[in-house]
C-alpha cells in the first residue's frame, strides 16, 4: 500500500511540475519538455512524398518514403508537434548507429523499429520523429545522386510537405493524398555522415520551416570528401551509389550510376558536378541554427569539412554550437552519451518547442583535449587565433632541419615519391633521413602551443616527371595517451552492458550497449594533414601537364584542427609525395626538389607562438597509431 501511495504521489508531483502547453503545443516544464506521452501507443505510419522529378526514368514522379512516429494523445487533442527528421540512404543497406540498426516493418508494412534513440526519447516529450528514405533507397523510388538534387530534394520536399507545400500520399503508387496537419511545421534535421551531409545540403537551400540542423561527422563539400586540392582520394560516387541502392529492389538505377561516373572527372579537377554538391557555397542561404559535431581524427570525413562549413556560416549570424572530439568517425552518443542526450534535449527544446532551455548560456565550443577530458571555448577558431608562418631551415643532415618564424632562408631539399609509404612511415623514425620525405621541427617547446583553425602549406617544388603529388603532415612528437582513432572502434570500445534512453515499445527498445574510450599510449600524434596534385597549381578546375625540371608554387589546405602541443613536445612539419593511406599515386612518381626559401606552413595559433626551449633530440622510434585506408561512406 505504501509503495502504491508513493507511486501516486510521485506521479502527482511530476504532473504538478509540468507547465500548461507551450506555444508550440507540447506539454512540459517552462525550461524542458517532459515524457508525458505514451510511446507504446504512438501513431506509426508511412507517407510517400512526391518529389516532382523522375530520377529513375520509369515515367512516374518519384516518391520518397517518410516513416513517421508521433504521440497519439497529442493527435487526439489536436495538439500540434514539431518534427525531428533524419534523412538517410542507410536504413536498409548499412544500418544506423553503433549497432547498425535497420528499419523494420510489420506484416501490414507499418514501421516498427526506428533506428537510434531519437524516437524513444523525444516522442514521449511531444515530438514527432520522421525518418526519410533518400530517393533510390529502401522503400523510396528514384535514384541516389550522392549529394545532388535527388538526395537533397528527398529531404527538402518532406520539409515542404510538413509545411503544406508538397503532396504526400498513403501509398508508394496511387493512394490518397495525406496532409501533415498534426505538426507545427518546425523541423530539426539530424544525422551522422551521409545523413548529416543531407542536413547541411537542405539547410543551404534556405527552405522555410527548417529551424535547426545537427550535422555529425558531415560533409560540407563532396569535392573535399573524394578529392583534396587536385589529389584523388579513395572510392567513387558511383561506387557509393551502388552500395546504398543494393537493397532497393524492383527498379533499375544503372543509367543514373553511369551518369555519376561520367560527370565526375577521374582526376582532381573541380568540375560542375562537384560545384553542385558544394554546400559551403550555399551557406549564405542558411537560416537554421547549427549544432555541429566532428572527430578531429576522422579519417573518413576529413575535418576540413566542418572547418570550412563553420567558417562560412559565421557571416550569416545563425546560432551555432560545436563539439570536437578526439575520435574518428564516431557519433557523440558513443563517446559522450549522457552529456550528448542532455545537450540535444536542450537544443531541440529551444529551437523546435521555443522553450528557454538554457541554450544561450551553454558553451559555444567544446573540445576533447584528452580521452574523456573536455574543455570549453568561446569560439572556433579559438579567440585570438592568428596565422603564424613557420619556415623550414635545412640542418646538417639532408632532409632534416628546423622550423623558424624568421625570414626566408635559402636552401633546398629533395625527396623521391614512394607510393608504398604513408604518413606513418614518414613519421616513425624522425631522427633518420629518408629518401621519401623531409622533416622539420620546432625543437622542444618552452610553453604549450595552441593550434586552432585551418592551416595551409605552400610549396615551391620542381618535379622530375610530368605528374606529381605533394603531401604535408603536422606531427606532435612527445608522449601522450590518445583515443585510438585508427583502431576498429575509431576511439571507442563497445561493451556488453546496456543503458536505456527513453521509452520502449514492442520491436523498438531504447537500450544500447555502453561504450568507453579505447586509448593508445603513443610517442607521436598526427594533428593535421593535407594533400595536393601539383598539376592543379594554377587552378583546381584545370589540370596542367607539368614540365619536368620547372618549379611550381602551390598552396594547399591542412585539415581543420584544435589541439594543444604541450610544453616539452616538438611540432614537426613533414613533406612527402604520395600518402598511400589517403590519395592515389601519380602515373610517374617523381623526384621532387623543394625551394625552402619559398616553402612554408601557415598555422592558426591561439596564444603564444612556438618558442623552443632547447635543441632536445626527437625520440628515435616513437610509438604511433597507423591509419587505415578509408573505403568510403558506407562505413556510416
Q: Which of 39, 96, 101, 102 is nearest to 72 (CA)?
A: 39
Cell of 466: 610530368
Would you call the peptide bond into 381 cis, given omega within 30 degrees of 0 as the criterion? yes
CA 465 to chain centre: 36
Which of helix, strand or coil describes residue 348? Answer: helix
Q: Where are the alpha helices (DSSP H) in 485-563?
A: none
Distance separating alpha carbons of residues 526 and 520, to the nearest angstrom: 13
Q: Nearest-CA neighbor of 221 among 287, 144, 307?
A: 307
Per-residue b or e along 133-164, where b marks 16 or more CB atoms closer than 10 Å to that residue's CB = bbbbbbbbbbbbbbbbbbbbbbbbbbbbbbbe
CA atoms within 13 A on the CB side of 493: 11
Q: Which residue has the cell 538517410?
A: 88
What are the beta bridge partners of residue 19? none
Cell of 212: 535547426
What the block records as the C-alpha cell of 146 is: 550522392
Q: Which of 33, 151, 195, 329 is catalytic?
A: 329
Residues contacting residue 43 through CB under 8 Å, at least 6 positions apart: 68, 69, 70, 71, 72, 75
Question: What are the cell numbers at 485?
Answer: 582513432
Does the annotation count 193 as an active-site position? yes
State how far the Cα of 564 lies from the Cα of 543, in Å rounded to an integer: 37
Q: Which string of b and e fits 220-236 if b means at least 16 CB within 10 Å?
A: bbbbbbbbbbbbbbebb
Nearest-Å Rg of the Cα atoms of the chain is: 26
The one catalytic residue among 92, 140, 150, 193: 193
Is 385 assigned a catalytic role? no
- Would you say 450 and 476 are in contact if contact means Cβ atoms under 8 Å apart? no
Grid coordinates representing 456 are 595551409
Contact 245, 55 (CB under 8 A): no
Contact 95, 509 (CB under 8 A): no
Strand partners, 500: 511
Q: Give kind and range of the element (H or E) at residue 576.
A: strand 570-576
Establish whether 54 is a catalytic residue. Answer: no
User: Per the residue annotation, which of 67, 145, 298, 579 is the catalytic one?
Assistant: 298
Query: How far, rounded to the nearest angstrom, does the alpha carbon of residue 31 sit from its chain's CA centroid?
Result: 30
- Round to whole Å and give the CA distance between 330 and 335: 7
179-216 b/e (C-beta count within 10 Å ≥ 16 → b): ebebbbbbbbbbbbbbbbbbbbbbbbbebebbbbbbbb
Q: At what angle do helices 149-162 and 194-203 cross, to 10 degrees?
A: 70
Q: What are phi and psi of 515, to 5 degrees?
A: -130, 160
Alpha-helix runs per DSSP H in 109-246: 118-122, 149-162, 194-203, 223-226, 237-245
Retrieve residue 243's grid coordinates: 552500395
Could you give the residue numbers annotated as active site? Answer: 193, 298, 329
Amino acid at each position: 500500500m505504501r509503495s502504491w501511495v508513493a507511486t501516486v504521489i510521485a506521479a502527482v508531483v511530476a504532473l504538478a511540475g509540468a507547465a500548461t502547453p507551450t506555444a508550440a503545443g507540447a506539454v512540459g516544464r517552462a525550461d524542458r519538455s517532459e515524457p508525458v506521452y505514451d510511446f507504446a501507443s504512438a501513431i506509426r505510419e508511412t507517407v510517400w512524398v512526391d518529389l516532382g522529378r523522375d530520377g529513375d526514368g520509369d515515367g512516374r514522379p518519384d516518391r520518397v518514403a517518410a516513416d513517421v512516429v508521433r504521440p497519439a494523445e497529442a493527435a487526439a487533442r489536436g495538439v500540434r508537434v514539431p518534427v525531428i527528421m533524419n534523412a538517410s540512404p542507410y536504413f536498409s543497406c548499412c544500418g544506423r548507429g553503433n549497432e547498425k540498426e535497420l528499419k523494420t516493418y510489420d506484416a501490414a508494412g507499418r514501421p516498427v523499429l526506428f533506428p537510434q534513440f531519437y524516437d524513444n526519447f523525444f516522442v514521449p516529450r511531444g515530438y514527432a520523429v520522421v525518418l526519410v528514405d533518400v530517393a533510390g533507397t529502401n522503400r523510396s523510388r528514384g535514384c541516389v545522386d550522392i549529394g545532388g538534387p535527388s538526395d537533397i530534394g528527398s529531404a527538402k520536399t518532406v520539409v515542404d510537405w510538413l509545411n503544406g507545400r508538397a503532396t504526400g500520399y498513403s501509398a508508394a503508387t496511387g493512394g490518397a493524398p495525406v496532409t501533415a496537419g498534426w505538426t507545427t511545421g518546425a523541423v530539426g534535421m539530424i544525422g551522422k555522415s551521409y545523413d548529416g551531409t543531407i542536413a547541411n545540403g537542405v539547410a543551404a537551400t534556405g527552405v522555410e520551416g527548417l529551424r535547426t540542423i545537427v550535422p555529425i561527422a558531415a560533409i560540407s563539400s563532396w569535392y573535399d570528401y573524394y578529392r583534396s586540392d587536385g589529389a584523388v582520394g579513395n572510392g567513387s560516387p558511383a561506387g557509393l551509389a551502388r552500395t546504398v541502392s543494393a537493397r532497393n529492389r524492383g527498379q533499375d538505377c544503372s543509367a543514373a550510376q553511369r551518369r555519376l561516373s561520367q560527370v565526375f572527372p577521374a582526376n582532381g579537377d573541380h568540375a560542375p558536378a562537384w560545384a553542385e554538391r558544394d554546400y559551403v557555397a550555399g551557406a549564405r542561404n542558411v537560416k537554421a541554427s547549427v549544432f555541429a559535431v566532428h572527430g578531429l581524427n576522422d579519417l573518413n570525413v576529413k575535418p576540413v569539412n566542418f572547418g570550412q562549413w563553420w567558417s562560412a556560416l559565421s557571416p550569416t549570424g545563425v546560432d551555432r554550437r560545436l563539439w570536437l572530439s578526439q575520435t574518428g568517425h564516431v557519433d557523440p552518443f558513443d563517446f559522450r552519451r549522457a552529456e550528448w542526450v542532455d545537450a540535444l534535449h536542450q537544443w531541440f527544446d529551444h529551437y523546435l518547442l521555443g522553450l528557454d532551455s538554457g541554450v544561450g548560456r551553454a558553451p559555444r565550443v567544446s573540445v576533447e583535449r584528452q580521452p574523456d577530458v573536455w574543455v570549453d571555448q568561446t569560439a572556433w577558431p579559438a579567440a585570438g587565433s592568428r596565422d603564424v608562418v613557420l619556415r623550414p631551415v635545412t640542418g646538417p643532415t639532408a632532409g632534416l632541419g628546423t622550423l623558424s618564424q624568421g625570414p626566408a632562408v635559402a636552401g633546398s631539399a629533395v625527396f623521391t615519391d614512394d607510393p608504398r609509404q604513408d604518413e606513418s612511415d614518414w613519421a616513425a623514425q624522425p631522427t633518420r633521413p629518408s629518401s621519401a620525405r623531409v622533416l622539420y621541427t620546432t625543437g622542444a617547446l618552452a610553453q604549450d602551443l595552441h593550434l586552432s583553425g585551418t592551416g595551409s602549406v605552400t610549396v615551391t617544388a620542381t618535379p622530375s616527371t610530368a605528374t606529381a603529388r605533394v603531401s604535408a603532415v603536422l606531427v606532435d612528437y612527445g608522449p601522450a595517451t590518445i583515443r585510438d582513432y585508427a583502431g576498429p572502434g575509431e576511439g571507442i570500445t563497445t561493451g556488453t552492458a546496456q543503458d536505456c534512453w527513453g521509452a520502449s515499445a514492442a520491436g523498438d527498445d531504447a537500450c544500447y550497449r555502453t561504450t568507453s574510450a579505447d586509448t593508445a599510449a603513443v610517442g607521436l600524434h598526427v594533428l593535421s594533414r593535407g594533400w595536393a596534385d601539383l598539376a592543379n597549381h594554377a587552378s583546381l578546375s584545370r589540370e596542367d601537364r607539368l614540365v619536368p625540371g620547372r618549379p611550381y608554387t602551390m598552396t594547399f589546405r591542412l585539415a581543420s584542427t584544435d589541439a594543444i602541443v604541450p610544453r616539452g613536445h616538438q611540432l614537426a612539419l613533414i613533406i612527402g609525395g604520395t600518402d598511400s593511406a589517403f590519395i592515389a599515386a601519380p602515373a610517374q612518381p617523381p623526384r621532387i626538389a623543394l625551394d625552402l626559401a619559398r616553402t612554408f606552413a601557415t598555422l592558426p595559433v591561439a596564444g603564444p607562438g612556438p618558442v623552443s626551449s632547447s635543441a632536445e633530440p626527437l625520440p628515435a622510434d616513437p610509438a604511433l597509431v597507423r591509419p587505415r585506408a578509408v573505403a568510403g561512406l558506407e562505413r556510416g
